[in-house]
């Protein structure tokens, strides 16, 4: 970028990514580039071909005879050497890193073969003698909910929903279904595990993304204190979008293989394994009851959600149900809100972190309901929303379920979106097109985008008396060290997966130390033995721009204060950073009396207001809340069911934008995942529980040419609670797009029973009914 | 996703290649590898031997045939600009995979692979083309009508190599149209149709909705409806059998209209 005026901060500028040159030169260091320990042997995982089966026999002996095979770890070994994974709620079935005696989803690990290379390991997989006795699988969450497969049933009441519904002029009662979809990063999971028998410790390299709560989960399963599970992440990651959080289960599995077989073990997951058995979003069926006055005021909202988390409640699940808990009312002022949350197990892959995490599911139900209500009341959907939006003067605003919305001007954002979309003209054109027999529709969605998850919200899944010690907050650490020659090195534990954390941290630190961003080296590899991490560290809930940056800013400010004090003490106001650094390192006697030597600071920062859930089950589930208002215009081909997005407008208020270029990347990326969920992506199991979408031939993720070109605008209402006023914005469009497109399609087709993903085949089935 | 063990042979001449094929019962020919290599990696195919023909010099030709046709050798890539001289190839090739797969994938390899959802087998049938196959026993020609026997199955014997595909040109006054419906650009088609109008003759070929690319006899007045009666699509995760029938109806109508317009 060009020179900047001396007074102009680096933060807020569209600085090109500092990461990109290495990536473009092929110098990125991803997990499969690491060769951190000599003589690692290669693992392949034997996986269940049945959704539910007894394992009658598992005999690895024939595989052991193949030349090149080191050994086999079986489910029985796993049960002997480890403990079940702890999760947010007690699960009816213990979850180990591999199945023993019973398999519960297609793709579940039942054994690990370790060999001199992956080819031999895969050959040996075919030689393991396994005899299964298939059992009836449970695949339908609605059936599972009335059985022992219902793992949790909690109800929440805020205000008085019953009496508000009783006085409503209109009660909308509808059900909405969110499919299970994936994140499809370019890079799949990878683990290198090295057990030390002498130290009774595991060192593992994995493309893990946090939250580091899962480090504790893995250590617990291994029966190790956290200090004995040294987990390292590579500096680069080929994307995650949440899904790589669940690699922790394979850290345990490969750690056990290394322990049993006495060799370092390397496992790089392939795409078939990834699609079938890594993780996916939860599936959700939501019954909504919503009461409105005839003028369109939303009086009460009741949700009844059945959450399909797959075969096991794998940490941090059932967090998908609770991540949005403070935002159950979305962007609206309604005070009467109730929710019943039931978590069910099915014989499908376990769910987990996935971009949007609970937002797409919640807003499909809420935002479809708002549009349905408007139509039934004869109101414009935009007018109905505007009537109910939280007003700019209301901030900071406490929601009925406990969130503290920090800042915003929702009405103005909505107006911006309507103006940019030429909403009234588009609505008139769509109506005219429909009169001619075309199927054109306009839809919208208004969503509150929470960021920086409160680590305590998950305890809501248990009743108050069973919650154990209180949990809260969301802290992140950062270390900045300045060398004797003035070089600045930052160590962050935010585990970036392509978002550009190095660039933004360099901007933040450069402003505070009066240097250029290119003078700041940011190390993104995490080592739990040496990095400044907390249990909340990692890359999830769009927390970087709040707490990742907050920790970097705090460390930089403390260093800056120290430098300023030394400079004053030296009596040389123009002393260069290099001169100061040289003095600290080479001549500590010259420091001000009593000053700690050294020129390095480790700082921790936690977003404020994130208390544990209270006795009334209210929780500030997130530290910051942005806003997104979208307008979608679609046309449906009557003959083929094909959906074309004619226009997509998305207006964001994520507080202060730290780097507008990266912000645009996040909005576009979030939109891509939202369009995937709206138009393309869905995991499908057949009646026996076989995954029908097990390769990219059948699991269709949109590619760049398949995406609409969005028109993006921003407002900036800085968060008063966060050091730079910046909120997360990586997930908003993932939350808004499925709802906005569903509303547009409902408008085009003139019916309410529409359910994403709107693939041509599914849309055509609607048309022929 | 690693293949089973196989022998690898890389002949420098056609004779050597044909000998290699004659010597093993279950060899597979490696040309562009865009279908073969994924199938190997998924262990759907477990050949004992791969015969890599990429060094065989005489297979890289695109020439004019004796009749008015384009003759495409076994190594010619789908991205080869010489192919654009043929109107049917020019119409279908942009739908074949993506730029990077077309840079490696070969025209003849796609035909020998005989995937009903692939464009090139359908295109060869649409223009009454021919496959020239060779073995140590000799050379023969197989018309496209007789080439495709079933899913991924051709009339080639185990020791035969598809050395050339012969693509008759459209004639003056012919009309031709190709339509496919895929959910994303570059995907295998859910349904595809080619139509050729030649005088009063209407030749319609469908792919992806039948085990092999199939010539239909359609009623010129209601082409789509008459085509639907002749297919029995099986349905998939992407749509019901009824949906695939609907695609046949729509795409046949669209291609016939366009082909007639061109012929006019």
A705: chain B residues, CB-CB within 8 Å: 184-185
The closest CB to that of A702, out of B184, B240, B250, belongs to B184
Taking CA–CA distances from A273, the nearest residue in chain B reads B1
Do A40 and A131 belong to one domain? yes
CA distance B99 to chain A (A): 13
Helices (H), A126-240: 141-144, 161-166, 213-222
Do A723 and A704 belong to one domain? yes
Do A109 and A255 belong to one domain? yes
Among A222, A249, A277, give the residue marking a domain's end: A277
DSSP letters spanning A8-45:
S-STTS-PPPTTHHHHHTT----GGG---STTPEEEEE
pLDDT digit string, tens, across residues B241-259? 999 999 999 999 999 999 9
pLDDT score at A4:
53
**Whether residue A72 has pLDDT greater than 80:** yes
Q: Are the C-beta atoms of A706 and B185 separated by less than 8 Å?
A: yes
The closest CB to that of B4, out of A123, A700, A702, belongs to A123
pLDDT digit string, tens, across residues A273-311? 999 999 999 999 999 999 999 999 999 999 999 999 999
Q: Helix or strand or coil: residue B211? A: coil
Would residue A85 count as lying in a domain?
yes
Q: Are the C-beta atoms of B165 and B73 separated by less than 8 Å?
A: no
Q: Is the peptide bond before A140 cis (omega within 30 degrees of 0)?
A: no
**Whether residue A5 has pLDDT greater than 70:** no
| Architecture of domain B61-168 in this structure | 2-Layer Sandwich (3.30)
Substitution target in A179, A639, A703 with the highest count of B β-carbons within 10 Å is A639
Do A576 and A621 belong to one domain? no
pLDDT score at A88:
82
Torsion of CA A54, A57, A61, A62, to 10 degrees: -80
ipTM: 0.95
pLDDT digit string, tens, across residues A127-144? 999 999 999 999 999 999
Residue A667 tokens, joined: 């909005």
pLDDT score at A1:
42
Tell me the whole-structure pTM to 2 decimals. Answer: 0.97
Do A673 and A580 belong to one domain? no
The reply to whether residue B181 touches residue A642, judged by beta carbons under 8 angstroms, is yes
CA distance A444 to chain B (A): 24
Q: Average pLDDT in the A534-562 region?
A: 97
pLDDT score at A110:
98
Topology of domain B7-52 in CATH is 3.30.43
Substitution target in A66, A123, A640 with the highest count of B β-carbons within 10 Å is A640
Among A578, A606, A634, give the residue marking a domain's end: A606
pLDDT score at A256:
98
Q: Are the C-beta atoms of A189 and A269 separated by less than 8 Å?
A: yes
**Distance between CA atoms of A560 and A567, rounded to whole angstroms?**
10
DSSP letters spanning A514-560:
TS-GGGEEEE---BTTTS---TT-SS-TT-IIIIIHHHHHHHHHHHH
Distances B233 to B101, B116, B154 between C-alpha atoms, Å: 27, 12, 20
pLDDT digit string, tens, across residues B176-204? 999 999 999 889 999 999 999 999 999 99
Q: Are the C-beta atoms of A578 and A534 separated by less than 8 Å?
A: no
**Distance between CA atoms of A373 and A170, rounded to whole angstroms?**
8
The reply to whether residue A119 touches residue B2, judged by beta carbons under 8 angstroms, is yes
- For chain B, the average pLDDT equals 96
Does B242 reach chain A within 8 Å, measured CB to CB? Answer: yes
**Whether residue A626 has pLDDT greater than 80:** yes
The closest CB to that of A270, out of B1, B243, B246, belongs to B1
Chain A residues at the B interface, defined by Cβ less than 8 Å, are 118-119, 122-123, 270-272, 639-642, 680, 684, 692-693, 697-698, 700, 702-703, 705-706, 759-761, 764-765, 768
Q: What percent of chain A has pLDDT over 90?
A: 97
Give the domain ranges of chain B.
7-52, 61-168, 175-263
What are the two backbone dihedrals, phi and then psi, of residue A600, each rounded to the nearest 5 degrees?
-140, 145
Closest CA to B120 of B138, B102, B137: B102
Beta bridge partners of A298: A292
pLDDT score at A409:
98
Beta bridge partners of A705: none
A765: chain B residues, CB-CB within 8 Å: 240, 243
Question: What's the number of domains chain A is made of?
Answer: 3
Do A311 and A420 belong to one domain? yes
CA distance A689 to chain B (A): 14
Substitution target in A760, A763, A766, A767 with the highest count of B β-carbons within 10 Å is A760
Do A443 and A567 belong to one domain? no
A702: chain B residues, CB-CB within 8 Å: 184
Would residue A307 count as lying in a domain?
yes
Would residue A670 count as lying in a domain?
yes
**Whether residue A3 has pLDDT greater than 90:** no
Would residue A468 count as lying in a domain?
no
**Distance between CA atoms of B16 and B138, rounded to whole angstroms?**
14
Residue A656 tokens, joined: 């202060």
What angle (nearest 5°) sits at the alpha carbon of residue B131, between those of residues B130 and B135?
145
A692: chain B residues, CB-CB within 8 Å: 237
pLDDT digit string, tens, across residues A430-464? 999 999 999 999 999 999 999 999 999 999 999 98
Among A556, A571, A606, give the residue marking a domain's end: A606
pLDDT digit string, tens, across residues A39-61? 999 999 999 999 999 999 999 99
- Structural domain span for residue A491: 20-30+475-606
Residue A26, phi-psi category: left (phi > 0), alpha (psi -120 to 50), beta (remainder): left
A271: chain B residues, CB-CB within 8 Å: 1
The reply to whether residue B243 touches residue A764, judged by beta carbons under 8 angstroms, is yes
Closest CA to A410 of A377, A441, A442, A445: A445
Do A626 and A710 belong to one domain? yes
pLDDT digit string, tens, across residues A672-693? 999 999 999 999 999 999 999 9
Would residue A513 count as lying in a domain?
yes
The reply to whether residue A641 touches residue B243, judged by beta carbons under 8 angstroms, is yes
Q: Are the C-beta atoms of B147 and B129 separated by less than 8 Å?
A: no
Label residues A121-159 b or e (16+ Cβ within 10 Å = b). Answer: bbbbbebbebebeeeebbbebeebbeeebbbbebebbbb
Closest CA to A327 of A300, A362, A287: A362
- For chain A, the average pLDDT equals 97
B61-168 shares the fold of B7-52: no
**Distance between CA atoms of B109 and B37, rounded to whole angstroms?**
12
A680: chain B residues, CB-CB within 8 Å: 183-184
Q: Average pLDDT in the B20-35 region?
A: 96
Does B2 reach chain A within 8 Å, measured CB to CB? Answer: yes
Residues in chain B: 264
Counting Cβ atoms within 10 Å, is residue A65 exposed (0-12), middle (13-18) or buried (19+)? exposed
A759: chain B residues, CB-CB within 8 Å: 183, 238-239
Q: Return the number of other C-beta atoms located less than 10 Å from residue A470's C-beta.
A: 10
Measured distance between the N- and C-terminal CA atoms of chain A, rounded to whole angstroms: 57
Does B42 reach chain A within 8 Å, measured CB to CB? Answer: yes
Q: Average pLDDT in the A90-100 region?
A: 91
Q: Return the number of other C-beta atoms located less than 10 Å from residue A516's C-beta.
A: 14
Quick one: B175-263 is in which CATH superfamily?
Answer: CO dehydrogenase flavoprotein, C-terminal domain (3.30.390.50)
The closest CB to that of B250, out of A639, A684, A759, belongs to A639
pLDDT score at A307:
98
Do A102 and A248 belong to one domain? yes
B247: chain A residues, CB-CB within 8 Å: 640
Q: Are the C-beta atoms of A389 and A411 separated by less than 8 Å?
A: yes
Residue A375 tokens, joined: 């139509």
* Beta strand pairing call for B49-52 and B7-9: parallel
Determine which helix (DSSP H) or strand (DSSP E) holds B42, and give its type and residue range. none
pLDDT digit string, tens, across residues A321-357? 999 999 999 999 999 999 999 999 999 999 999 999 9
User: CATH number for the domain including A702?
Assistant: 3.30.365.10
Q: If you count residue pairs, one on A and one on B, with CB atoms under 8 Å apart, how many are there? A: 62
Would residue A465 count as lying in a domain?
no
Do A240 and A386 belong to one domain? no
Q: Average pLDDT in the A86-95 region?
A: 87
Would residue A336 count as lying in a domain?
yes
**Distance between CA atoms of A656 and B67, rounded to whole angstroms?**
70
The reply to whether residue A700 touches residue B187, judged by beta carbons under 8 angstroms, is yes
**Distance between CA atoms of A228 and A713, rounded to whole angstroms?**
48
Do A216 and A298 belong to one domain? no
The closest CB to that of B243, out of A272, A692, A765, belongs to A765
Do A619 and A725 belong to one domain? yes
Residue A72 tokens, joined: 């086999």
Would residue A633 count as lying in a domain?
yes
């Amino acid at each position: 970028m060009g020179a900047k005026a001396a007074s102009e901060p680096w933060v807020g500028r569209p600085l090109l990514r500092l990461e990109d040159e290495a990536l473009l030169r092929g110098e990125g260091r991803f997990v499969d580039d690491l060769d951190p320990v000599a003589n690692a042997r290669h693992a392949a995982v034997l996986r269940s071909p049945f959704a539910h089966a007894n394992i009658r026999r598992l005999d690895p002996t024939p595989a052991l005879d193949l030349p090149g095979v080191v050994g086999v770890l079986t489910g029985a070994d796993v049960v002997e050497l480890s403990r079940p994974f702890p999760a947010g709620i007690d699960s009816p079935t213990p979850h180990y890193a591999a199945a023993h005696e019973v398999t519960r989803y297609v793709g579940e690990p039942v054994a690990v073969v370790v060999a001199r290379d992956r080819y031999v390991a895969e050959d040996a997989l075919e030689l393991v003698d396994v005899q299964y006795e298939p059992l009836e699988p449970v695949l339908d969450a609605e059936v599972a909910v009335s059985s022992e497969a219902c793992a949790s049933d909690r109800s929440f009441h805020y205000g008085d929903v019953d009496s508000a519904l009783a006085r409503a002029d209109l009660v909308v009662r509808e059900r909405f279904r969110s499919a299970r979809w994936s994140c499809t990063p370019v890079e799949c999971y990878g683990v290198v595990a090295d057990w030390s028998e002498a130290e009774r410790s595991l060192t593992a390299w994995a493309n893990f993304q946090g939250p580091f709560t899962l480090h504790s989960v893995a250590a617990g399963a291994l029966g190790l204190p956290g200090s004995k599970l040294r987990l390292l992440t590579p500096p680069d990651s080929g994307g995650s979008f949440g899904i790589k959080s669940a690699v922790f289960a394979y850290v345990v599995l490969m750690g056990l293989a290394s322990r049993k077989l006495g060799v370092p073990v390397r496992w790089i997951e392939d795409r078939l394994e990834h699609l079938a058995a890594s993780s996916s979003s939860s599936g959700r069926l939501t019954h909504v009851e919503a009461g409105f006055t005839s003028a369109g005021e939303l009086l009460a909202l009741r949700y009844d959600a059945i959450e399909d988390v797959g075969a096991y409640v794998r940490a941090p699940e059932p967090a998908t149900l609770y991540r949005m808990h403070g935002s159950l009312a979305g962007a609206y002022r309604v005070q009467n809100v109730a929710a019943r949350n039931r978590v069910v197990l099915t014989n499908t892959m376990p769910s987990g972190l996935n971009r949007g995490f609970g937002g797409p599911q919640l807003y499909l139900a809420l935002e479809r309901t708002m549009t349905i209500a408007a139509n039934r009341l004869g109101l414009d959907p935009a007018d109905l929303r505007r009537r109910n939006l939280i007003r700019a003067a209301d901030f900071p605003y406490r929601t009925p379920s406990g969130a503290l919305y920090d800042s915003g001007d929702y009405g103005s954002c909505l107006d911006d979106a309507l103006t940019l979309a030429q909403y009234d003209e588009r609505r008139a054109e769509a109506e005219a097109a429909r009169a001619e027999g075309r199927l054109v529709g306009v839809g919208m969605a208004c969503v509150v985008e929470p960021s920086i998850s409160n680590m305590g919200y998950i305890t809501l899944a248990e009743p108050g008396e069973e919650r154990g010690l209180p949990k809260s907050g969301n802290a992140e650490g950062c270390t900045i060290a300045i060398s004797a020659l003035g070089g600045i090195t930052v160590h962050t534990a935010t585990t970036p997966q392509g978002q550009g954390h190095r660039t933004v941290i360099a901007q933040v630190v450069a402003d505070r130390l009066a240097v250029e961003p290119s003078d700041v080296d940011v190390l993104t590899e995490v080592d739990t033995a040496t990095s400044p991490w907390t249990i909340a560290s990692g890359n999830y809930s769009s927390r970087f721009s709040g707490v990742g940056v907050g920790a970097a800013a705090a460390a930089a400010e403390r260093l800056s204060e120290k430098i300023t004090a030394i400079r004053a003490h030296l009596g040389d106001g123009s002393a260069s950073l290099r001169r100061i650094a040289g003095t600290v390192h080479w001549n500590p006697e010259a420091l001000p009396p009593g000053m700690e030597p050294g020129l390095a600071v480790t700082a921790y920062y936690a977003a404020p207001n994130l208390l544990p859930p209270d006795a009334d089950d209210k929780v500030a589930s997130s530290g910051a809340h942005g806003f997104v208002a979208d307008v979608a215009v679609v046309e449906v081909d009557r003959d083929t069911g094909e959906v074309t997005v004619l226009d997509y407008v998305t207006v964001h208020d994520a507080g202060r934008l730290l780097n507008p270029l990266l912000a645009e990347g996040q909005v576009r990326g979030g939109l891509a995942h939202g369009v995937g969920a709206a138009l393309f992506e869905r995991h499908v199991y057949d009646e026996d529980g076989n995954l029908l979408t097990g390769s990219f031939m059948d699991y269709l993720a949109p590619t760049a040419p398949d995406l609409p070109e969005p028109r993006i605008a921003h407002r900036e209402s800085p968060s008063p609670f966060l050091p730079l006023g910046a909120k997360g914005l990586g997930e908003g469009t993932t939350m808004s797009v499925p709802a906005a497109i569903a509303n547009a399609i409902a408008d085009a087709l003139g019916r309410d029973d529409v359910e994403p993903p709107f693939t041509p085949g599914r849309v055509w089935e609607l048309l022929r009914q | 996703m690693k293949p089973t063990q196989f022998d690898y042979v890389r002949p420098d001449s056609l004779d050597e290649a044909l000998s290699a094929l004659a010597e093993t019962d279950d060899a597979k020919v490696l040309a562009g590898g865009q279908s073969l290599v994924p199938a190997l990696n998924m262990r759907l195919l477990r050949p004992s031997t791969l015969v890599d023909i990429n060094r065989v010099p005489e297979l890289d030709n695109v020439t004019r045939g004796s009749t008015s046709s384009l003759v495409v050798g076994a190594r010619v890539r789908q991205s080869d600009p010489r192919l654009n001289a043929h109107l049917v190839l020019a119409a279908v090739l942009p739908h074949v995979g993506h730029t990077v797969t077309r840079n490696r994938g070969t025209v003849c390899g796609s035909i020998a692979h005989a995937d009903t959802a692939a464009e090139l087998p359908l295109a060869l049938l649409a223009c009454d083309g021919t496959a020239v196959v060779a073995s140590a026993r000799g050379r023969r020609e197989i018309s496209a009508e007789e080439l495709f026997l079933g899913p991924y199955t051709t009339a080639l014997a185990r020791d035969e190599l598809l050395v050339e595909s012969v693509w008759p040109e459209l004639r003056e006054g012919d009309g031709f149209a190709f339509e496919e419906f895929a959910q994303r650009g570059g995907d295998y088609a859910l349904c595809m149709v080619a139509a050729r109008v030649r005088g009063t003759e209407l030749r319609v070929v469908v792919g992806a909705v039948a085990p092999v690319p199939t010539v239909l006899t359609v009623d010129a007045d209601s082409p789509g409806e008459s085509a639907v009666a002749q297919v029995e699509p099986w349905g998939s995760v992407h749509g019901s059998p009824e949906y695939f029938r609907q695609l046949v109806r729509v795409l046949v109508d669209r291609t016939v209209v366009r082909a007639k317009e061109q012929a006019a």
